[in-house]
């Protein structure tokens, strides 16, 4: 009977019922200083909303049915694996961002997802290449980040001491100079890695690892410079304390 029904309205019905129970359990609170009365209280509207959502969900459960033709266009197994990988990596990003820090988690998320998206599937045979790319991109990223930090610190210190004009010590100037130097280093790295790869030959997964590493490193450093150094957003340091 319920075979052609969609699950979402049912989930919504259950959530609405739970919301109703929750609102009742909260009780009604009136405005501070409502001695005269008249305030309908904080429960009325959420309660109405819970009933409304339940009724609409029930109506949808009854009327919104699965389209038999849509089941043919489902996800393939490789798409499902990529989807699951994205969900897991995203969840790990949220959980590990604080202990490991922005630099590492961002780099790894970008590298892993870009690599497997380019490969088009999550398969065991790519593991070795992906791990080599993973480690190399981490090493290069840390080197680039450390150079960037060194430049930033030196500029700030020099501006404070008065050895360079104070304008060069402003957050935007420091971020700009660091960006220019880091970009130059990145471009050099790009040419170097291309030459190296040309020597070793280009298999599909090596190419993917190369592209993924470059995208991950460039994006992580660029976002860091914009948000941390320009907007002074406190991006979590985690284990990268320098």
Partner 1 sequence: MDAFIQGFHQIANLSTIIWMSIGSIVGIILGALPGLTATMGIALMMPIAFQLPTATGIGLLLAVYCGAVSGASIPAILIGIPGNPNAIATVEDGLLMTKKGKAGEALGGAVVASFIGGIGSLIVLVLFSPLVARLTLAFGPAEKTTLALVGLVIIASVSGKNILKGLLMGAFGMALAFLGTDPFSNQLRIPFAKLLATTPLARGMDLTSALIGLFGISQVFFELSKPFEKTAKVDPIKIDKIFPSMRKLRDMWKIILSSLGIGTLIGAIPGTGASIAVFMAYNSAKSITENSKGKLEPLGTGTLEGVFAPEVANNAVTGGALIPALALGIPGDAATAVLIGALMVKGVTPGFHLFATNMSLVYAIFITMLLANIFMALFQLLGVRLYPKVLSVPQQILLPLILILSFIGAYAVAGQATAVGIFNLGIALFMGLVGYFLKKDNYPIAPIVLGLILGGMFEENFRRAVKLAGGNYLVFFTKPICLLFIGFSILSIALPAIKQRRERRK
Nearest to 144 by CA among 237, 220, 239, 229: 220
> With respect to partner 1, which residue has the nearer C-beta, 16 or 152?
16
Nearest to 22 by CA among 43, 52, 53: 43
> With respect to partner 1, which residue has the nearer C-beta, 168 or 235?
235
Taking the complex as a whole, how short is the minimal distance between the CB of residue 194 and partner 1, in angstroms? 17
**HEC letters along 161-201:** HCCCCHHHHCHHHHHHHHHHHHHHHHHHHHHHHHHHHHHHC
> With respect to partner 1, which residue has the nearer C-beta, 32 or 198?
32
> With respect to partner 1, which residue has the nearer C-beta, 93 or 158?
93
- How far is C-alpha 58 from the geometric centre of its chain's CA atoms? 35
Contact, 224 vs 145, CB < 8 A?
yes
> With respect to partner 1, which residue has the nearer C-beta, 82 or 182?
82
> With respect to partner 1, which residue has the nearer C-beta, 63 or 241?
63
Q: Which DSSP state fits 42?
A: S
Instruction: By CB under 8 A, name the binding residues for partner 1.
Output: 6, 8, 12, 19, 22, 26, 29-32, 34, 37-42, 45-46, 49-50, 52-53, 56-57, 59-60, 63-64, 75-76, 79, 82-83, 86-87, 90-91, 93-94, 97-98, 106, 109-110, 113-114, 117-118, 120, 211, 215, 219, 223, 226-227, 231-236
Taking the complex as a whole, how short is the minimal distance between the CB of residue 232 and partner 1, in angstroms? 8
Taking the complex as a whole, how short is the minimal distance between the CB of residue 188 and partner 1, in angstroms? 22
Taking the complex as a whole, how short is the minimal distance between the CB of residue 159 and partner 1, in angstroms? 20
> With respect to partner 1, which residue has the nearer C-beta, 40 or 165?
40
Query: What span, in angstroms and rounded, lies between the C-alpha atoms of 124 and 131?
Result: 11
Taking the complex as a whole, how short is the minimal distance between the CB of residue 34 and partner 1, in angstroms? 7
CA distances (Å), origin 110, targets 94, 195, 211, 214, 220 = 14, 24, 11, 10, 8
Taking the complex as a whole, how short is the minimal distance between the CB of residue 96 and partner 1, in angstroms? 10
Taking the complex as a whole, how short is the minimal distance between the CB of residue 161 and partner 1, in angstroms? 26
Written as six digits, the tokens of 80 are: 């499902």
Query: What span, in angstroms and rounded, lies between the C-alpha atoms of 85 and 113?
Result: 8
Residue 239: CB atoms within 10 A of its CB come to 9
């Amino acid at each position: 009977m319920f075979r052609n029904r969609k699950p979402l309205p049912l989930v919504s019905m259950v959530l609405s019922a739970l919301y109703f129970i929750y609102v009742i359990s909260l009780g009604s609170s009136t405005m501070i200083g409502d001695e005269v009365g008249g305030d309908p209280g904080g429960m009325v509207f959420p309660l109405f909303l819970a009933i409304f959502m339940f009724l609409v969900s029930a109506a949808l459960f009854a009327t919104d049915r699965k389209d038999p033709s849509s089941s043919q266009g489902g996800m393939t197994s490789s798409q499902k694996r990529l989807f699951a990988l994205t969900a897991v990596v995203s969840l790990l990003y949220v959980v590990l961002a604080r202990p490991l820090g922005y630099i590492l988690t961002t780099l790894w998320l970008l590298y892993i997802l870009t690599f497997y998206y380019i490969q088009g599937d999550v398969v065991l045979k790519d593991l070795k290449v992906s791990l080599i790319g993973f480690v190399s991109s981490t090493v290069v990223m840390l080197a680039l980040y450390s150079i960037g930090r060194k430049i930033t610190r030196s500029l700030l210190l020099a501006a404070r001491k008065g050895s360079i004009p104070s304008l060069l010590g402003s957050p935007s100037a420091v971020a700009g100079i660091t960006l220019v130097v880091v970009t130059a280093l990145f471009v050099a790295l790009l040419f170097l890695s291309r030459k190296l790869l040309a020597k070793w030959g280009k298999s599909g997964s090596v190419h993917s690892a190369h592209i993924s590493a470059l995208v991950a490193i460039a994006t992580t450093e660029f976002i860091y410079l914009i948000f941390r150094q320009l907007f002074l957003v406190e991006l979590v340091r985690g284990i990268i304390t320098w």
